[in-house]
Amino acid sequence: MPTKPSQAVRLAPTQTSTITSKVRAQFNALVSKLEAERKRLAAWHDAMPKMRARADAELMPLGDRFGECQRELIMLFDTAYQTKKLTKKEREKLADLICAMSLEMLEDDDDKELVEIYERYSGAAELADDPDFQALNDIIEQMMNEAGAKAGDPFGPPDDGDDEPEAPPGAAEKGGAKGAARKTSAAAGRQAEEEKRLAQSVRDIFRKLASALHPDRETDPAERDRKTGLMQRENVAYASNDLLGLLELQFEVDQIDATKLDTLGEARIKQYNKMLAKQVDEVRLEIGEFEHWLQYVMHVSARGKITPALMERSLTEEIKTFKMKVEGIEQDLQDFKDVKVLKAFLKTYHIPYPFDPMDGYYD
């Protein structure tokens, strides 16, 4: 049998067509979108094994090494803080550095020793033991509890405003609650009915294809093998509710063409549009999972439209950057063992001004 390209799955208007131009255009556009998104997804499937392997073999060890060096540097600063060779101002700067570095590491790792160091240099432990600070905390907590108890809201009483008067007791049960329940039930019923119709549409296509492609009905070995392959594709498409995949098979085996597709009627094509739109969303969601892994798990960023090729280049740049960071911090570990070098560095370091959340700028 002759084969047809996937682009053949389009609606072609006929003289007897009952499908409006809007529904037809939506169908053709959704098919095009789904084909494009499937190509994108295929590119990600091809590229991800290599990128995952590179990230595991190159990027993650560099990140681990940088973390180790950062921890060693905190311990080195902690030891240096105790030396009598540093001035009071230099100790203040060193304490700020220790706090900043410890806090950064504690975002990803609950290291008890770093927690102790951070609390020691940030003054958090001293505040917790300060009776005046604890008393103030108790007063604030008591006030919040009392306000929440009065309002039935842990965040305090509601604002006084032009609120509508409360409905009489039982009004919600008689009207609003029952009405809302009926609406919810009706919507759920309509949704279930729609899902049933969509599933039936896919099932109809599957049965028609299965009847034509069943390999057991073929006596010619070559034709039996060909139909076995087509049947396997059909089973995969049906299992994943892939409407476009089933339609492509119908076009491929001459069960249907653009003219016949047009004669299915507007109601059926609208159902197809809903299924195709859902497929587009599902494919985009799967692509988004690949992008999320690179951007937020592996911390690889990229500007512009994200593509596998762009992310591969970004991964290369990230590896290069981390190598430089590791080399730099390893050099710092060696250099700062010399107190003179550390003191020279501290002269250039300036404690950042604290951020004022009320004013919205550094004061």
Residues 6 or more apart whose Cβ sits within 8 Å of residue 77: 94, 97, 98, 101, 336
User: What tokens were used for 125?
Assistant: 């432990």
Between 311 and 69, residue with greater pLDDT: 69
Q: For the segment 171-226, what is each residue's pLDDT rounded down to a tens digit?
A: 555 556 666 666 667 666 666 776 777 778 788 888 888 888 888 878 888 888 88
Q: Could you tell me which residues come within 8 angstroms of residue 12 by beta carbon, excluding any fewer than 6 positions away?
A: 258, 259, 261, 262
Q: Among all chains, which residue has been given the structure tokens 């979108």?
A: 33
Q: Backbone dihedral region of 233: left (phi > 0), alpha (psi from -120 to 50 degrees) or beta?
A: alpha
Q: Is the pLDDT of residue 54 over 80?
A: yes
**Around 66, how many Cα atoms within 13 Å sit in the side-chain half-sphere?**
18
Structure tokens at 123: 């003054």
Is the pTM for the entire model greater than 0.85? no
Listed in sequence order, the residues at least 6 apart from 102 whose beta carbon sits closer than 8 Å to its beta carbon are 74, 114, 115, 117, 118, 121
Q: Taking CA 100 as the corner, what is the angle to CA 323 and CA 118, rounded to the nearest 5 degrees?
A: 120
Q: pLDDT digits over 89-131, tens only?
A: 999 999 999 999 999 999 877 889 999 999 989 875 444 455 6
pLDDT (0 to 100) of residue 284: 92
Exposure on the CB side of residue 188, measured as CA atoms within 13 A: 6
**Under 8 Å between Cβ of 163 and 230:** no
Return the percentage of the chain with pLDDT > 90, whole number. Answer: 31
Cβ atoms of 253 and 205 within 8 Å: the answer is no
H helix intervals, the chain: 21-54, 60-81, 88-106, 112-122, 124-129, 131-151, 171, 177-213, 221-239, 243-252, 258-262, 266-292, 308-335, 339-348
Of the listed ranges 166-170, 269-273, 356-360, the least confidently predicted one is 356-360
